[in-house]
């Protein structure tokens, strides 16, 4: 996707004339871009497993309205920690990003933000994330802290394995465990199964995303599932999304979900079929569109779980 040159400093893969480019104060725009506030899809993909887990945990205790407080806390936490994680990734990847067409316009390689400024910004976001985490019970706090090991390791995985998307899945879906723990103070099998399903989902959507950069990645020696799977990508996506949907179904049924959730699950299945059948791995714009559409896939699952939980009490 080309940069909207009418907006100085815009990032190549942001939506044209997004709210940051149009309304944010000029001094803050580079930091908002660093935190990907102009590209909210990543926040959604981090948040949705948390929301799935909160709704699933509510079903397991007999249903009712999922905790609004937990949903809001996870939303704030996802926004802050996604921003912190992206800032950390950009600090680590600044030399690589400068060599890739889609990422060289990001704030650090383009010179809008220095490394020192980025570190200070990341610390502020981490403090916000920690403040949210401390609202949970002790078990959930420890569980949340454990995810930092994965966050720290992820940016380096593309240098050593063709499966960095697996590590991203382990990291991005930690909320599938944390939402359950925040309500129950422990883990349960439905949450573990939900976590595994989320990892498979991430393998699917981030493989689609990685096809945007495969030519640049091959030139500079960066690895990804897009390069590993190549022309076999569609067959692997059937496996990834199939495992994700199977895991979501098992997790929902294990927690006690019923017909409303299963109806939403069928809609999510149709969405996955649409993604796979319309994918063109050589069309970066199509890959980006399908990648972003996974917000809708995730929302379908969440709304199905939440509605199922609410109507259990009616």
- Quick: pLDDT tens for 60-106: 999 999 999 999 999 999 999 999 999 998 998 888 878 777 778 88
In a domain, 23, yes or no: no
What tokens appear for 47 in the block? 């948040």
Which pLDDT belongs to residue 2? 37
- Quick: pLDDT tens for 175-221: 999 999 999 999 999 999 999 999 999 999 999 999 998 887 887 88
Which pLDDT belongs to residue 298? 98
In a domain, 189, yes or no: yes
Range of the domain at 256: 28-312
- Here the CATH number for the domain that contains residue 128 is 1.10.357.140
Which pLDDT belongs to residue 270? 98
In a domain, 4, yes or no: no
Which pLDDT belongs to residue 7? 56
Q: Long-range CB contacts (< 8 A, 24+ apart) of 35-39?
A: 35/82, 35/83, 35/84, 35/86, 35/87, 35/121, 35/125, 36/82, 36/83, 36/86, 37/83, 38/10, 38/11, 38/14, 39/11, 39/13, 39/14, 39/15
Which pLDDT belongs to residue 8? 60
Rounded Cα distance, 178 and 185, in Å: 9
From the first residue on, what is the mean pLDDT of each consecutive set of 10 residues in the chain (314 residues)?
A: 48 73 87 90 97 98 95 97 93 83 82 92 96 97 95 91 96 97 97 98 97 84 92 97 98 97 98 98 95 98 98 80
In a domain, 82, yes or no: yes
Give the mean pLDDT of the chain.
92
Per the structure, the count of domains in the chain is 1
């Amino acid at each position: 996707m080309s940069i909207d040159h009418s907006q100085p400093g815009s990032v190549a893969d942001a939506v044209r004339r997004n709210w940051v480019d149009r309304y944010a104060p000029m001094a803050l725009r580079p930091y908002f871009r660093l935190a990907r506030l102009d590209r909210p899809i990543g926040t959604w993909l981090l948040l949705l497993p948390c929301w799935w887990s909160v709704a699933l945990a509510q079903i397991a205790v007999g249903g009712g309205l999922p905790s609004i407080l937990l949903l809001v806390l996870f939303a704030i936490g996802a926004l802050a920690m996604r921003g912190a994680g992206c800032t950390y990734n950009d600090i680590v990847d600044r030399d690589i990003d400068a060599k890739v067409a889609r990422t060289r316009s990001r704030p650090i390689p383009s010179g809008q933000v220095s490394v020192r400024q980025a570190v200070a910004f990341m610390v502020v976001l981490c403090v916000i994330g920690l403040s949210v985490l401390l609202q949970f019970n002790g078990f959930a706090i420890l569980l949340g802290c454990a995810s930092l090991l994965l966050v720290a390791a992820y940016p380096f995985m593309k240098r050593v394995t063709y499966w960095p998307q697996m590590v991203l899945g382990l990291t991005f879906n930690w909320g599938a465990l944390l939402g359950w723990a925040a309500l129950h103070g422990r883990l349960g099998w439905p949450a573990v199964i939900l976590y595994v399903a989320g990892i498979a989902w991430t393998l699917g959507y981030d493989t689609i995303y990685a096809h945007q950069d495969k030519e640049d990645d091959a030139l500079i020696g960066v690895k990804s599932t897009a390069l590993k799977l190549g022309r076999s990508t569609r067959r692997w996506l059937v496996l990834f999304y199939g495992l994700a949907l199977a895991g979501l179904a098992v997790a929902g049924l294990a927690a006690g979900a019923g017909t409303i959730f299963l109806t939403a699950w069928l809609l999510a299945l149709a969405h996955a079929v649409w993604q796979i059948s319309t994918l063109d791995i050589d069309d970066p714009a199509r890959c980006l569109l399908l990648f972003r559409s996974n917000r809708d896939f995730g929302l379908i699952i969440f709304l199905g779980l939440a509605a199922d939980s609410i109507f259990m009490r009616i």
